[in-house]
Structure 1
Amino acid sequence: MTSATPNIRLYVEHDLGTDREFLIDGNQGHYLINVMRMKEGEVVALFNGRDGEWMARLEKVGKGKALVRVLGHLEDQAEEPDLWYLFAPVKKARLDYMVEKATELGVSLIRPVMTRRTIVDRVKEERLRANAIEAAEQCGRLTVPEIEEPVKLDKLLAGWPDDRLIMFCDEAGGEGAQDIKPVGEAVAQAGQSSGLTKWAILIGPEGGFSPEERQMIRSHPQTVAVTLGPRILRADTAAVAAISLWQSFAGDWQ
């Protein structure tokens, strides 16, 4: 086995194990051969979200494709926090940023939520997944977040699972604002009282949730309302802040 350390990581759907062979083509094949100019005998790191990370060697290369052979194991699959990221879609560039950063910060599932003030009415799930895969490859994590289809807020809450809490990033205005706590305090209290460890973070649209939506969210028994501080944050900034704070208090940053 070569002793070279792979500096390119790729997510694949194939099962990974010693001496397995398969073809990498499409966008990934183009990236390896035409962009990175990789040659036969060079190595890459592969992961599939199930089997950990493995080293593989390019056995044969062609026009935009490569046959790879898995050589050996690099890293075991590790358990990750079970954190959903639910958000009202925003415009394209900021949406790409939000998915990228949510992936880097370790969320397990990403799902757009349609609200009254959502400004984007269509979301390309394949684009979200492509962005999540690229971010996972770059940041070193061994999984890619699940991407689920957009859902209306009322339908989301109506079918909410009993074993998961909702960290609601409230705008801290109107009825109920006195109950909103900083993230660390709110997460700790809710976790202790409920015994639950699964969470979702809910981020609203640029114009905020409507009063009716806010009341619907706050009245849900699994909701934990939190504040992200004294300033009004853009949706993409709020996402990064909320996920980072949750990871520091209840996730893998402890």
Structure 2
Amino acid sequence: MPAPHTLPRLYLQPDQPLAGSMTLPMAPDQARYLGTVLRRGEGDEVRLFNGRDGEWLARIASIKKDKGSFSCLEQLRTPAPEPGCVLAFALLKRDATDLVVRMGTELGVTRFVPLLTERTVGQRVNEARLESIATEAAEQCERLIVPEIATPIRFADFLGAWPAEKRLFVAVERLAERAESHGASESFPLSPFAGAQAGDGLMIGPEGGFSDGELDVTRARPFVTSITLGNRVLRAETAVAAGLTLFDSQLRNV
């Protein structure tokens, strides 16, 4: 029998309970992927997962074109919490937004919130497409939970709805220069996410950064911590990867 980690891994919605001796229908895209792309057939084994039921070894009970079914065999992993952060990011052009969702899923984001800021480039988002990207990334990186994709929200509305008991880390370009211009002499910690906990948020701005007015609004919020990701000016999607890597490292070391 192949080692479990070499088997195809597919996400099933929580409304399809995974349990021993259960027979579950395949989604059409799963049947096409297994049968046409991977050339798998009846009797071949796969892994099925979701956040509620964990991960299960299953067998292909039937498959034909865009139809098929699975038979659950045994549980491989029990459900477990996946501590992570909420990522609020200024909506980017399509390819960059796709990249943010893929990388963010791999780096532990629990919820994505696309923001409409003063300098936002993109205004529309295909939520179904982003959900598909997040699902594929969760399948690849062996997460049990597929993160939520929120509907785009205006910057001010997001801040107004943020829970006061959770910290929100806001990445600010040239933070030291901005602090000095406001008469503050600050030293910034080497670990910008010191004290961060699961459920806290990271906010990344658009190309060109947040406007002065938007930064003034964040400074007035007691739950906001302004952070720097270094002296280099990063592309928005690079800033997402850098910030999430540091945040994930902080949670793993708590």
TM-score relative to the length of structure 1: 0.91
Other-structure match for 1:187: 193
- Secondary structure, aligned partner of 1:10: strand
Q: Write the letter of the residue equivalent to 2:220.
A: S
Find the aligned partners of 1:120 and 1:21 in 2 and give their Cα distance: 42
Q: Distance in 1 between matches of 2:56 and 2:3?
A: 13
Q: 1:90 to 1:183 in 2, by over 3 A?
A: farther
Contact 1:82 1:108 in 2 (8 A): yes
Query: Could you say which residue in structure 2 is the equivalent of 1:220?
Result: 221
Aligned partners of 1:97, 1:183: CA distance in 2, in Å?
Answer: 27
CA distance in 1 between counterparts of 2:143 and 2:125 reads 25
Specify the alignment match of 1:59 in structure 2: 61
Deviation at 1:246, TM superposition (A): 1.0
Which residue in 1 is equivalent to 2:153?
151
Distance 1:224 1:58, change over 3 A: same
Secondary structure at 1:117 match in 2: coil
Residue 7 of structure 1 corresponds to 7
Give the counterpart of 2:76 among 74, 77, 94.
Answer: 74
Q: Secondary structure at the match of 2:122?
A: coil
The TM-score with structure 2 as length reference comes to 0.91
Taking the aligned partners of 1:83 and 1:89, their CA distance within structure 2 comes to: 18
Residue type at the aligned position of 2:151: E
Look up the match of 2:133. Answer: 131
Q: Is the 8 A contact 2:107 2:244 kept in 1?
A: yes
2:116 counterpart residue number = 114
> How many residue pairs were aligned?
246
RMSD of aligned Cα (Å): 1.8
Indicate how the Cα distance of structure 1 residues 143 and 178 shifts in structure 2: closer, same or farther if over 3 A, else same: farther
Deviation for aligned residue 1:3? 6.6
Q: Which runs of 4+ in 1 moved over 6 A?
A: none
Deviation string 1:100-138 (CA, Å, 9 cap, x unpaired) is 000000111111011000010111111111100000000
Which shifted more, 107-116 or 80-89?
Answer: 80-89
1:41-69 per-residue CA deviation (whole Å, 9 max, x = no partner) reads: 00110111111100110011111222111
Match of 2:96 among 94, 97, 117: 94
Give, in whole Å, the separation in 2 of the partners of 1:137 and 1:31: 13
SS of match in other structure, 2:202 = strand
Q: Which amino acid aligns with 1:9?
A: R
Match of 1:237 in 2: 238
Structure 1 pair 179–229 and aligned structure 2 pair: CA distance change class (3 A): same
SS of 2:167 mapped into structure 1:
strand
Q: Deviations over 1:20-50 (max 9, x none)?
A: 1111032122111111111100011011111
- Which secondary structure state, in structure 2, belongs to the residue aligned with residue 162 of structure 1? coil
Aligned residue identity for 2:188 = K
The whole-number CA distance in structure 2 between the counterparts of 1:11 and 1:44 is: 11
Contact 1:84 1:109 in 2 (8 A): yes
What amino acid is aligned across from residue 238 of structure 1 in structure 2?
Answer: A
SS at structure 2 position matched to 1:216: helix
Whether contact under 8 Å (1:48, 1:142) holds in the other structure is: yes
The alpha-carbon deviation at position 253 of structure 1 amounts to 5.5
C-alpha displacement of 1:4: 5.6
Amino acid at match of 1:246: F
Structure 1 residue 168 and structure 2 residue 175: aligned? no
- The answer to whether the Cα contact below 8 Å between 1:53 and 1:74 also exists between their aligned partners in 2 is yes
